[in-house]
A and B are shown apart, each in its own frame.
Chain A
Amino acid sequence: GAGVSQSPSNKVTEKGKDVELRCDPISGHTALYWYRQSLGQGLEFLIYFQGNSAPDKSGLPSDRFSAERTGGSVSTLTIQRTQQEDSAVYLCASSLGTGWIGELFFGEGSRLTVL
C-alpha cells in the first residue's frame, strides 16, 4: 500500500483477554518499529525489527508483550492477559532500514482500551 497500515484502528477488550495488533509497512521498507503512546504522552519505544529479526527488544514492558514479523513485511504485536495499564495507542512505523538513516513513516495507530 501507499502508507503504513495498522489494524484494528480501535480495540476494546476486557481485562485478562489477549489482543493482537497488526502492522503492514510500506512495501520495500526493511525496518519496522512499534511504539506505545499513553494518553497525552510521548512515544515509548517497544521493539524494532530489521527484516524478521529484532535487534532491540529492550522496550517491551513485560513478558506479556511479544512481537513477530514474517516475510520481512507484516508484523503483529501480541499482548497477553491484558491489564488496564496497557490501554494506549500503539503506533507502528517503517523505514528503508539498513544502510539508510532517516525518516520513519507512521501508521495511524491502534487505540487499545482495556476495561
Chain B
Amino acid sequence: AQTVTQSQPEMSVQEAETVTLSCTYDTSENNYYLFWYKQPPSRQMILVIRQEAYKQQNATENRFSVNFQKAAKSFSLKISDSQLGDTAMYFCAFIYNNNDMRFGAGTRLTVKP
C-alpha cells in the first residue's frame, strides 16, 4: 500500500522567514509523482508544486521549492520569504500509474506578521 506521512500537524513562521514542511512516503513503485497542495480557508485545493520521481533535480516554483530524496522517500517543501497569504493547510500527495492519488494528513501553517 502507498502511504503518505506528514509528521507536523501545525507549524508557524514569521513573515519573510523560511519554513520547511516535512513529508515521507512509502511505496514499492519506481515511477511516480509527488505533489504539494495548499488549502486556504476558502477550501479550494490549489497545486503548489509537483515533482516527477524520475527527475533528480528538485522542483522550484518561485518562493516554493522541494527537497526530494528518493532513496529516503522524503519530499519536503520549503517556503522562502513567507507571506501572510501562505497561511493554509498544506497537503503532501502521491500518485502512480493507476491514477490513485493519496494524501497525507496535512500541516497547518500559520504565517505571523
Chain A: residues with CB nearer than 8 A to chain B?
31, 33, 35, 40-43, 45, 48, 50, 55-56, 89, 91, 93, 95, 97-98, 101-104, 106, 108-109
Contact = CB atoms under 8 A, between A and B. Distances in A.
A42 B97 contact: no
A109 B43 contact: yes
Nearest to A58: B100
B105 A56 contact: no
Interface in B29-45: 32-33, 35, 37, 42-45
Contacts of B103: 35, 42-43, 45
Interface of B: 6, 32-33, 35, 37, 42-45, 47, 50, 91, 93, 95-106, 108
Q: Is the interface of B mostly helix, strand, loop or mixed?
A: loop
B113 to A, nearest CB: 23
Contact of B44 (A98, A101, A104, A108): A108
Given A50-B99, A56-B100, A103-B47, 14 more contacts: A31-B99, A41-B106, A43-B91, A45-B102, A48-B99, A101-B97, A102-B95, A103-B35, A104-B47, A104-B95, A104-B101, A106-B37, A108-B42, A109-B43
